[in-house]
Structures are given as C-alpha cells and as structure tokens.
Structure 1
Amino acid sequence: MMIEEAISEACATVGILPPKGRAYGKWMQTDTLAGKKGKGDGRVIINDAHVTAFNWQTGETATVGLRNGLSRSERKDISHQITRQREEQAAKAAKAARIAAELVRSAKPGAHPYLRAKGFPDERALVLDAERIRRIGGAYLVPESAKSAIIMPARRGAVLTSVQLIWENGDKKFLAGGEIGGASHRIARGVDTWLCEGLATGLSLRLALRGLGRSDTILCCFSASNVPVVCQSVEGRCFIASDHDKPLEQFGGKGAGEHYALLARRPFLMPPEIGDDLNDLHMGKGIFAVQRLVTDMMRGAPR
C-alpha cells in the first residue's frame, strides 16, 4: 500500500483529516471531522512500516501497514528520520519534565475560581499566576485574559512527567512534549482505587465516597483513553468513574468514556445522562445521586 493510501485509510478510520504536510517519525497535527470543535485534535505519524492516525477527542487510534509501498532507499531515509525524531522527542520530554517541576515548585496551595464553579469553594489546589506560567512554560499555555491556573502534576509512579493546567473558564492545557500516557494525578489515598478523567469528577467522587464512609485512592487520568493505560499499573481492586460521552459509530454506539472503561476490564459506573460526568450529576441532582451510582455499582462488584 502506498503512503497516501495508508494515510487516507488511517485518517478515515478515526475521523480526522489527512495532514497537509509530510514528515516521518514525528506526529503531524491536523483537524478532526467535527469542524471547528475538532481543530488541531488529529495526529498522524508515518514510519517505515506503517501509518498511525490518532483522534484526540475520542482517543481512537488506527494503524495501517505500508507493506510494499516503499523502496529500499525510501525506507532507509525514513529510518534515519525516525531515529532523529525519537532523539528530539526524548529531549522535548526531558525539557517538559523540567518545566513541570519548576511550575510545581512555583505554585502555592490556594482556592481557585474553577473549583468554586464546580461546587468546591473551600477546596485548595496548587495555583500559579498567568505571568509566571508564561515566563516558565511559554505564552502558548496562557489563554487570553486568563489570570491563574491550577497546576495538576502528572506522575508515573513517583516520577513527574508533565502537568495539566486548568484555567478559570475550564480551559485545559498540557506542556508541549510532556508525556501523559500512563501518568495520573492522585487526589485521595485508600485501600481500593478509582480511576476517572478530570479533577472535578474526582472531587465529586471523593465527596460521595467519604459520605459513604469510604476512603479510597482516586487517580485522575486526564483523558478517557489514558484510563486503561493507568489501570495496568494498579494493584488490588480498581473501579472506574466514566464520563457519559455521546455515542460514536467507531465505538459501536458507545461514548469514549464507556468504550475505554470496557477496555480496562474493571467495574465502572457512568451518569445516566449523555454529556454528563460525575460532577455534572453532583451539581445538577446533588451528591446523593452520585452516592446511589456508587452503591449500585459496588453492590455487584467482586470482592
């Protein structure tokens, strides 16, 4: 299969547009088929054996083999480019980890408008002002008119790999080159482990569990597709609090949250309304509605 055919097939499978340029061994940015809402949320990488397309919105990945579509000289040239790109990516990841460490060191515990909007006015998180974020990490991290962000460390075990920044209006930013796959942010510690996507979901889950007399570990995984990756490193009983995302054809009519929860093969719960996460349920119908979801799921969970 020729490169152009492989790119078209991989992109169509995950619902993104083929990238305009061509590069080898590095992720090329493109748009999804969702229009303005999907701008910049597609990724494509070409190496000497296959093309891989990734849809950031859904977490879906597709790989198409090139087979006999390249000559020996083309494969050799691509192989050199891939080696160079891997070295560059490793350098970018190391730089992102250093920036993440400086952002975490500079941030101070405090209240934040995002937490207040999500129903937790007394909750404290690591907070840093926009000017210092711009100076430490770069202007691309700071939305227009933003004043401060929550700094959420992303760790694999004890190793800090990156951070997620959450701004007042809910905008979320990640460090360029930072490694998020397999990383999480812990907001509670206990015997059993719960995995969820975002901070607000985790806080509503923690409140519900405490009201039920439970104190469990809660890990925020940053995205639905990262949940089964983080799950692989969890020992003991593990549960998932999934978002109820809109159904997608490529996931067999299931939303991304449910799809990746099923891939993790652990017991999971999900709010009844499409578009809701646990914090939406908490804010709309109260914490007792969240507690009912938890107790109903755990009633049938293996001991």
Structure 2
Amino acid sequence: MSIEDAIDKACSAVGINPPKRRDYGRWLQTDTLSAKNGKGDGRVIINETHVTAHNWQTGENVTVGIGGDVEKRDRQKIAQQIQAAKRKQEADAARAAQIATSLVAASRVTGHPYLITKGFRDEKAMVVTVADVRRIGGDYLAPNSACCSAVLVPVRIGDRVTSAQLIWEDGTKKFLFGGSTSGASHRVSSGVDTWLCEGYATAITVRTALHGMKVKPTVLCCFSAANIATIAERLQGRGFIAGENDKPLPQFGGIGASEYYARKTALPFGTPETGSDFNDFFQQAGIFAVQRSLTGIMAGTLRGAA
C-alpha cells in the first residue's frame, strides 16, 4: 500500500480529512468531517511503516501499514525526519510543562465567571490573568481581546505537571501546545473510591453531589472519553464513570464516544437523564437529581453499568 493510500484509509476510518502537508514523524493538523465543528480536530502522523490518524472529537485512533511500496532511500529520508520530529516533540513537551508550572505559580485561588455560569457561585479555582497568560504562554492561548482571566486546570501524570487547560469566561478551552495529556488528569477531590469524568465542570458537579451525600471520593477530570479508558487501565480500587450523552456515531456502532470508551473498561458507567453532561443535568434538574443518578451508577442500575 502506498503512503497516499494509507493516509486516505486511516483518515476515512476515523472521519477526518487527509492533511494537505506531507511532513513525517510529526502530527499534522487537519479537520474532521463534521464541518465547522470539527475544524482543526483531526491529526495524522506518517512514519516509515505506517500512518496513524486521530479524531480529537471522538478519541479514535487508527493505524494503517504502508507496506513495501516505499523505496529504501525514501525510508532513510523519512527516518531522519522522524528522529528530528521526535526531538522537537520532546522539546515541545518539556516547554509546555515549564509553561504550565509557571502559570500555576502566577495563578491565585479565587472565583471566576465561568464557574458562576456552571452553577457554582461560591466555587474557587486557580485563576490566571490574560496578561500573565500572554506573557508566559503566548497570545495563541487567549481567544479574544474581551477575555480578562481564565480558570487554570493543571494537567498531571502522577505528581508531575505536564500541561494545562485554560477555560476562559466565554467557555473557550485551550490546551498548551505540545503538552502531554495521554494518561493525565486533574484531581478535584481525594477519597476512597474514584470517579472519572471528562470535563472540569462535570468533575466539580460530581464532587459536589457526592459530598452532599456524605460520600468522599477521588474525582478526576480526564479531559476526554478516550483518556478515561486509558486512566481506567491503571486504576486501583473501586471506580465509576460519570459519562456524557454524546452524539451517536456510526464508527462506534451507533453509540457516542463516552459510552464507547466506557464499555472498554470494567467500571460501572452511566449518563445523565437530560443534557450533554452531569453539569447540564445539574443546572436543568438540580443537585438532588444528579445525586439520584450517581446513586444509580453505584448501584449498577444506570445505562452502561457493568
């Protein structure tokens, strides 16, 4: 199979457009097939022997082998480019970790408009000013001139800060360029059992609901459905997944990404009765409705429960 055929096959399998560039050994950005909503959410990396395509929206990864259609001379050239790209990737990851650490140092714990819009007027979080974000991380992290500050969500693998997510007043979310997020999470509370959530607001909602029931769990914000499955692989003790009502996708057999990846784990799983996630459900139906749903997950009675 030729490189072009492998690219087309991998991209088609995950629902993204083939990238316009043909660099090797580094992730190339492209769009998904979901029009404007998928702009920039596709990734492709071309190596000596295979092509991997990734859909950021669904968390899908597909790898397709190139076969023997690449000349030895071309393989050597590709290998050189891959090594250079690997060095750059490592440098980008180290820089992102350094930037994240500096943002944490520049932050202060206080309230934020985003938390109010999510129903948590008295909630406090790490907050950084737009001036500090631009100075430390770069202008690309600030979505527009009207933004004044962002909630800072450190991304950690173990105790090590590897990246950060910024959530601005209008809900815009930005990750640091090059930061390591696979297998990473953000802990919003500590306890005996562990709850895995995708988004920060969902994690706060789950924590608040369970604390109201006198249940003190560990709650992790995992940033994506696919990453929940990754973190679940190394989870010790009892765990649960507070899933989301994602759009059903053909490549997932007619279910959403949240349920698809939750089913890959051995953990009890459930989704809210209404809304896209448990924070939506909280704002629509109240905290007691969320508590009933979470109790159902723990009892193994909600959809998707193991």
For the criterion TM > 0.5, the same-fold answer is yes
Cα drift, residue 292 of structure 1: 1.0
- For structure 1, which segment, 219-228 or 264-273, has the greater mean C-alpha deviation from structure 2 after superposition? 264-273
Tell me which amino acid in the other structure corresponds to 1:157.
G
- Listed one character per residue, the Cα deviations across residues 16-62 of structure 1 (whole Å, up to 9, x for unaligned) are 00011101000001111111111111110000010011111111111
Match in the other structure for 2:261: 260
Cα drift, residue 297 of structure 1: 1.8
3-state SS, counterpart of residue 226 of structure 2: coil
- Tell me the TM-score normalised to structure 2 length: 0.96
Tell me which amino acid in the other structure corresponds to 2:276.
D
C-alpha distance in 1, partners of 2:186/2:167?
13
- Tell me the TM-score normalised to structure 1 length: 0.97
Listed as ranges, the matches of 1:109-124 within 5 Å are 109-124=109-124
Unaligned runs of 5+ in 1: none
Tell me which amino acid in the other structure corresponds to 2:297.
M
Match in the other structure for 2:44: 44
3-state SS, counterpart of residue 247 of structure 1: coil
3-state SS, counterpart of residue 225 of structure 1: helix
Tell me which amino acid in the other structure corresponds to 1:259.
Y
- Listed one character per residue, the Cα deviations across residues 149-193 of structure 1 (whole Å, up to 9, x for unaligned) are 011000011011000000011110000000011110000000000
Tell me which amino acid in the other structure corresponds to 2:261.
Y
Cα drift, residue 209 of structure 1: 0.6
- Listed one character per residue, the Cα deviations across residues 100-123 of structure 1 (whole Å, up to 9, x for unaligned) are 000000000000000000000100
C-alpha distance in 2, partners of 1:300/1:256?
20
Cα drift, residue 233 of structure 1: 2.7
Aligned residues: 302
Tell me which amino acid in the other structure corresponds to 1:200.
A
Match in the other structure for 1:190: 191
Cα drift, residue 6 of structure 1: 0.6
User: Does 2:72 correspond to 1:72?
Assistant: yes
Match in the other structure for 1:200: 201
Q: How many percent of aligned residue pairs carry the same amino acid? A: 53
C-alpha distance in 2, partners of 1:293/1:69?
54
RMSD: 1.3
Match in the other structure for 1:128: 128
Unaligned runs of 5+ in 2: none
Match in the other structure for 1:54: 54
3-state SS, counterpart of residue 218 of structure 1: strand
Tell me which amino acid in the other structure corresponds to 2:208.
L
3-state SS, counterpart of residue 83 of structure 1: helix
Cα drift, residue 300 of structure 1: 2.9
- Listed one character per residue, the Cα deviations across residues 46-90 of structure 1 (whole Å, up to 9, x for unaligned) are 000100111111111111101112111111111111111111100
Cα drift, residue 203 of structure 1: 1.1
